[in-house]
Structure 1
C-alpha cells in the first residue's frame, strides 16, 4: 500500500508537495466577514486548504462547564452561550463554500460530534479531520468513516496505544495522521518533532503530517525536513484578537513566509544521491588543485 491519500484533486504523501492547511478554526469569533478575510489571506499565502471547526455546543461542552460564567466580547455570559456565539450555521457555511470555490481553495472542518458530521454532509467538503480530543471517541470515528470521505486524525494528548486503537477503528484507507502537541502555544521542548519519524515507522501506510501550535515558523519547516507531508497552522488576521487560539496563530504576512519556508525546505531536501552539479563545475575547475 502506498503512503498516500487524496484530498480534492491533490495527492498527499511521500514524493508529493507538502499540503499546507490554514486552520481558521474559531478564530473568526463568529464573524463571517472576518472568516472570509482569513480565507483570502490563506489564498494570498498560497495555502492548499482552509479548515474550520464544527461543534454541536450542548453536546460538546461538558455539563460541569456549561453554566460557568465567562467574560467575552458579547458580555459576561455562560460558557455554553459563548460556544454558540462562535458557531456558524448553514447560511454561513453556504457562504464559506461559495467563497472558497470562488477563490479556488480546498476547505473542510474538524468535526467534534456525530451531529456535526451530519450537518456538514450538506456540503461537498473535501475531507474530515478528527481533533486530538476526539481520537478516543470511537463512535465518532466510525460515523466519519461511514461518509466515505478522506479522514485526518490528530494525535495530541494521546498515548501510542490510543493512537494505534484509533487507527484500528477508523481504518487506514484514505487516512492521514498529524503529529501534534495540544498546548496553545506549545513550548519548544514539548514539540517533539522527531515523533514524525516515529509515526512514519509505526504506520508505514499512512501519510504523516504536523499540526503545530508553536509561536514562530521554523519548527513547521523542520517538520517537513523530518518527513511531514502535511502542515497545519492556525491563521488569524490579528494575534491580539480575542480568543484562546489567537496566541498560537500566524498572521497573514507570517503565513506567506511559512509557505515559502516550506517550499524552500522541499527544494533543499533533494534526493539523497550525491552528485556534482553543473553549477559546481566552474569552481571545481578553478579551485581543485589535485585532480
Structure 2
C-alpha cells in the first residue's frame, strides 16, 4: 500500500507510547495545481504565462512506534483466536493490578459494544518495531485483529477522558551527550482509557449476576422441588411461594409443615440426573424435616 505501513489512529491514541499528528507534505507530481499568472494585460490569450505550483496536503501519521517497549510487542490478545492475529500489533493490558491479560484496542472496543462493524484482517501487513513513523489509518481502515464473537466476552472499555501532553526534543551538547535543555515540538492529545478483562470487569460481573438471579427467579414456581440448606443438613422440600420483598421463600416440608428460608440457601434441581447424584452422594436428606429445639 504505497510503500508505507498502516496503523489504526484509534489504537495509536490509546497505546501509551504512540500518538497521532498531522504532517504537511507535497502532493505527488501527477497532482499539480495550475495557477495562471497575468503580469500585464495581453491581447492574445495564447501568450499567457502558466506557472505550475505544487499543492500540499496534511496527512496523519503515527509517531512513537520506536518507543514501544518489547514487552508490549510480546503481549497476546485474549479475544483473537488464531495465533497470527494474537501476535499482531501492540495490545494493552488489563488495568487491574498485575493482570497479564491483554487485548487489541479495536478488539476491546468491539467487545464493549463501541464498534459494531467488523473488518477483515489485513494478512499481508505486520507491525515493525523499528518504524518511527506510520501512516495513520482512520476508523474506516482494516482491523488487524480478532475473529471471535466478542459481544459476550465481558471485556470492559472505559474512556476516562483526554490528556494533553507535550512532545519535546532533547537538545544535545557539543560532546554528543544530552543536556538539560529541550524544545517543545508539539502538543498532542491522548485518550485515557482503562481496559478490564472479564474477570476484573465489575460492570460485566454485575450484569451476569443480574441475569443469573433473573433466570433463577423464573424457575422458582410454586410446587417445584427444591433443595434447602440449613444448620441440620440439606433437605429436598416443596416450594410454596417466593417473597421478593425480603428475599426469602416459603417451603413445605414432607410432613406438610410450612417453613421459610433465605433464597441464598435455596437451589433448584436442574434435572433428575443431578438429583439422583445428590442422593447417592449422601448430600441430600429426604422425608426428614429439621428437628426444632
TM class by shorter-chain length? under 0.3
Between structures 1 and 2, the one with greater helix share: 1
Using CA pairs below 8 Å that are at least 6 residues apart, which structure has the higher relative contact order?
A: 1
| TM, length-normalised to structure 1 | 0.22
Query: Normalised by the size of structure 2, how large is the TM-score?
Result: 0.22
The structure having more radius of gyration, on CA atoms, is: 2
